[in-house]
Amino acid sequence: LSSVVAAVAGVRAAQHIGSTFDVMADGGNPAVSLAPAVLALVAVYTVRAVFGFVSATLLSMGVNRLATRLQTAMVRSLLEQDIAFFDGAPRGAVAALVTADVRDATSALKHVLQNGLQMLTAVVGGAWSLLHLSSRLSALMLTAIPISTLVFQQFGRYIRALSRREREASAASTAVVSESVANIRTVQSFVAEDLEARRFAAEVESALTLRHSLGMLRGAFFGLLGFALHGVTALVVAAGGALVSRGDMTHGDVSAFLAQTREVIQAFGGLTRLADEVR
């Protein structure tokens, strides 16, 4: 519940930003007219921070309590195993499972519950807020955001796969050195120093080629990501400006829409990463 309240406060913050811009656009005495709008914005951000703290604290306490129960149950089950079970497994590894497995499971659970629920609420609430501000502009944004997010997600998967290949190639070059050093007498007996050096050079060259490709792809990824984010900003400003000129939106509505769009992009991207990690 605290995560939901924090996410809803984030949605309301964008709306209060728009209200603040409307107050500035109306003119008047800024010291008088801006004070209530700014105080409301500060109050919303305070609520978001407080409930975010409460959510993280309560969830951490609950997950830690669950971890304690799981560890106790695992130890009880471990002590009831047959002797043959302990004869076939290293004692250190068996003992480490009690803490490592539980820690990984509870950490994943906390991550999914806290971040997943908060980001899902931010996406749903943000989409509703965008539709409330402008249905025309929302149709454009709510179509472009999922498509662009999925494209960048696939791009990121390809980069991670290439990164794994690069690490494997680096490990292969290390394995060549280890093998040569371990069998140094055989290498020198057959005068195979040049052969082993060429093997290592070939592996290093393969890893270098992958590193160059990985560097270019990472540069392209972040360059395109920045272009997409700024492109969204330009699109909202251009389309929103046209709607303002026709009287369909106010300056504050465009500012709120822009702030809310960035929140939705961030939350939707987090949801897709979370879903990818769960799979």
User: What pLDDT does 91 receive?
Assistant: 57
User: What pLDDT does 214 receive?
Assistant: 86
Distance of CA 159 to the CA centre of its chain: 15
Instruction: Identify which of 137, 142, 133 has the alpha carbon closest to the alpha carbon of residue 22.
Output: 133
Cβ atoms within 10 Å of 33's Cβ, excluding its own: 15
In whole angstroms, what is the distance from residue 155 CA to residue 129 CA?
29
User: What pLDDT does 86 receive?
Assistant: 65
Q: Is the pLDDT of residue 7 over 70?
A: no
User: What pLDDT does 114 receive?
Assistant: 66
User: What pLDDT does 116 receive?
Assistant: 73
In whole angstroms, what is the distance from residue 233 CA to residue 46 CA?
27
**DSSP 8-state symbol, 113:** I
In whole angstroms, what is the distance from residue 60 CA to residue 65 CA?
8
- pLDDT, tens digit, 9 for 90 and up, residues 153-192: 888 888 888 888 888 888 888 888 888 888 888 877 777 7
User: What pLDDT does 268 receive?
Assistant: 75
Cα-based angle 236, 238, 241 (whole degrees, multiple of 5): 95
Mean pLDDT (whole number) for 230-254: 80
Mean pLDDT (whole number) for 29-37: 62
What is the rounded average pLDDT for all residues in the chain? Answer: 76
Please state the three-class secondary structure of the chain as a single string. Answer: CHHHHHHHHHHHHHHHHHHHHHHHHHCCCHHHHHHHHHHHHHHHHHHHHHHHHHHHHHHHHHHHHHHHHHHHHHHHHHHCCCHHHHHCCCHHHHHHHHHHHHHHHHHHHHHHHHHHHHHHHHHHHHHHHHHHHCHHHHHHHHHHHHHHHHHHHHHHHHHHHHHHHHHHHHHHHHHHHHHHHHCHHHHHHCCCHHHHHHHHHHHHHHHHHHHHHHHHHHHHHHHHHHHHHHHHHHHHHHHHHHHHHCCCCCHHHHHHHHHHHHHHHHHHHHHHHHHHHHC
User: What pLDDT does 156 receive?
Assistant: 82
Percent of the chain predicted with pLDDT > 70: 76
CB 236 within 8 Å of CB 254:
yes
Distance of CA 105 to the CA centre of its chain: 19
Banded model confidence at residue 89, pLDDT cuts 50, 70, 90: low
**Global pTM?**
0.64
Banded model confidence at residue 256, pLDDT cuts 50, 70, 90: confident
Banded model confidence at residue 23, pLDDT cuts 50, 70, 90: low
Which amino acid is residue 204, in one-letter code?
V
